[in-house]
Structure 1
Amino acid sequence: MREIADRLRAWNAANVRYAVATVVSVGGSAPRRPGAAMAVAADGEAAGSVSGGCVEGAVYELCQEVIRTGEPVRHSFGYSDDDAFAVGLTCGGTIEVLVQAGPVPDAALGAVSRDEQVAFVHVLPPGKGLLVVWPDRHHGTTGLADADAVVVGEARAMLDTGKTGRISVRCRDDLDVFVHSYAPAPRLLVFGAIDHAAAVARIGKFLGYRVTVCDARPVFATPARFPEADEVVVDWPHRYLAAEHERGAVDGRTVVCVLTHDPKFDVPLLEVALRLPVAYVGAMGSRRTHHDRLSRLRRAGMPDRELARLRSPIGLDLGARTPEETAVAIAAEFVAARRGGTALPLGQIDGPIHHDGQASSAEVA
């Protein structure tokens, strides 16, 4: 959608009728991934691609059919053994395409063009509507009032991690949706190149984060020691974090784990981290280290309201001993902090298991 968003906005402004074909699943060596989109206008103009050329002609015809009828169409394409020139994918893969009539809301297209966080939700089997989900609001409906709140919650969870894919809706056995997220993965910033950092990096990657390990000591901060990390940075932690904030690479989904438990690194880093609008700041160390760290931060002029954001000693009380167990305890705490969980055993609390919250009813022009 990103490559055709501006064209669709122009069609909207000119009141041009059009249809959009979206790849909702692929198999084998299909040339494009889920979310690839192609649009066809009533006057015949086309924009985008769903297959790199293999089935564009057939999808073009489907789009024209949808423009005529207004009814959505879902169709699968694959290689034909009987006729290599038949409509299909000669690469041997398969793709499933959903074609729906426009218009796509201008607010959604603008968000895509500006690289904002937004998810497009398509109902499978095909419905006529398009549900557009932002972190704080949504536009449209699935057409099923009892499913909207759940679908919005599921879509936000996928948007939060930048994931695109097809999911089943847990409250409706007969309902699947395809969620196309426009968002980078959230960041996990691990400071301190120690054994525990390697375990935290592994679990962070498993949870869908883009993981950075940072340490000022080049002998420890090496890619070989942290193969699961997306990047390993040699720099003073506070300087690196401040620079990342300045370039807009830190946001309200970012998790900061301070594992050095050395005041010459920790204190300047926490002075920066606790003043940033990040989701979580945790610091490793004993209770004595924690109290000493708080005293140093207070002497540095940090007020109690900022210190209250610090999760220290880091992690939940799981009785963890090994680096891997400690990483689970740390991840459990920042997941609970980000999702609004209680961190209590589910058997000890009442109420819903999933913290979907109330789906916003706000509509966007």
Structure 2
Amino acid sequence: MTDLEHILPLWQELERAGAEYVLATVVEVQGSSYRRPGARMLLAADGRRAGTVSGGCLEAEVAKKAWWLTERGPVIERYSTLEDDGDLPYGSGCGGVIFILLERSATARPLLEALHAAWSAREPLAIATVLEGPHIGPRVFAGSAPALSQLTSWQANLEELACAAFEERKPREERIAIDGTETRIWVDYRTARPGLWIFGAGDDAKPLHNLARELGWFVAIADGRTHLATAQRFPAADIIVPLHIENLHRTAPAELDLHPGDAAVLATHSYEQDTHILAFLLSRALERRPNYIGILGPQRRTREALVDAARLLGLTPTTALVDEWLEQINGPTGLDLGADTPASIALSILAEIQKSLTAASALPLKQVRAMRPVESQR
């Protein structure tokens, strides 16, 4: 998601200036590649660029030819980083072949508008794009982007594919008939921008805030200690919410707009605050709770806080109820990385959140790739 945080400001600047631009999008990868389909790079005529389409071996080559390649409209270009293929001056790169859609403002603008809307709303988006034939470039969206008012028959088919990918929450490729010709359609599914709610504004929250912002996540700071929860201490936070702890589970402020895909980390180092915050989070319907709830401290302390949170909610804190809640909470929060400093602890917490958001294994890549069939590694 970091690419969009750099691409969107440059795009808005170019739009305000009425300047032309080229958008490069990875649409297919064969073999190994640093970036996957959906990676994007925005090019300005003055040489500025934002985003990446590789690990650094393709960007200059793409930028060098993008303008004249798109003089007559969108095109898909093949770039090879294989040792014995292609004309890149760097020799062996990632060891794969990458296909990149290059397009100018006319067709890229609707896409960037849709990406901006989804980014701002922190909502997912599905994008169905035509990749072949005379219609290359047009798109239909499913999600927060406005729907097209009038659709041709093939655009209606695109919309159906986009909606299916949106419901399935994964990309897909299909072929549909456009003007009587079977045409390749790629549907890119983009998850919502991750949101991290850090409950606690102490010094150890700073590296957690900094690392999450470096990842391009939406970051919120919330604490009952208003002298700590300030813009001066957390200048890059998207929102800072002062908490009235005693009534939090009854009358939470509207600013506490947690999305189901968000993560919440309790790092107040205050048993009273943690108890009321847990009561607030657990009072939300199960489908509205954050994807990840983590809490610092030993599990014994978390269990005691859950007992008191149940009492705040007017519930009997039975062992079964507390055990059920413990299953929904990562406590202690973080992966076992040998962390012993605020920065390394923050890294271990964000690593576990990333694992949770992506449903990944968190195993070493060497081990994961050894477990895959040979065909899937090509």
- TM-score bracket relative to the smaller structure: 0.5 to 0.7
Of 281, 286, 291 in structure 2, the residue corresponding to residue 279 of structure 1 is 291
Shift of 1:307: 3.3
Q: Deviations for 1:4-45, whole angstroms, at most 9, x for unmatched residues? A: xxxxxxxxxxxxxxxxx99553315699x99xxxxxxxxxxx
Shift of 1:139: 8.6
Shift of 1:286: 2.9
Q: Which has the higher helix share?
A: 2
Give the structure-2-normalised TM-score. 0.51
* C-alpha contact (below 8 Å) 2:75/2:103 kept by paired residues: no
1:287 & 1:198 partners in 2: Cα distance?
24
Shift of 1:333: 0.7
Alignment of 1:98-247 (within 5 A): 117-122=124-129, 128=136, 130=139, 132=162, 133-134=165-166, 136-137=168-169, 141=173, 143=175, 155-156=188-189, 159-161=190-192, 185-236=193-244
Gaps of 5+ in 1: 1-20, 35-58, 67-71, 76-94, 162-184, 357-365
Shift of 1:337: 1.0
Residue 313 (structure 1) aligns with? 332
3-state DSSP of counterpart to 2:43: strand
The answer to whether the aligner puts 1:295 opposite 2:307 as a matched pair is: yes
3-state DSSP of counterpart to 1:134: helix
CA RMSD of aligned residues (A): 4.8
Say which structure, 1 or 2, has more relative contact order (CA 8 Å, 6+ apart). 1
* C-alpha contact (below 8 Å) 1:123/1:142 kept by paired residues: no
1:96 & 1:239 partners in 2: Cα distance?
53
Give the structure-1-normalised TM-score. 0.53
Amino acid at match of 1:220: L
Q: Deviations for 1:100-123, whole angstroms, at most 9, x for unmatched residues? A: 7xxx9xxx9xx98xx763232546
2:359 & 2:246 partners in 1: Cα distance?
28
Residue 44 (structure 2) aligns with? 27
Of 76, 79, 104 in structure 2, the residue corresponding to residue 97 of structure 1 is 104
1:242 & 1:23 partners in 2: Cα distance?
47
Shift of 1:346: 3.8
3-state DSSP of counterpart to 2:336: coil
Amino acid at match of 1:319: G
3-state DSSP of counterpart to 2:173: coil
Shift of 1:282: 0.4
Of 331, 343, 357 in structure 2, the residue corresponding to residue 338 of structure 1 is 357
Alignment of 1:347-362 (within 5 A): 347-349=366-368, 351=371
Shift of 1:345: 3.3
1:295 & 1:123 partners in 2: Cα distance?
55
2:126 & 2:344 partners in 1: Cα distance?
34
Shift of 1:232: 2.3
Residue 153 (structure 2) aligns with? none
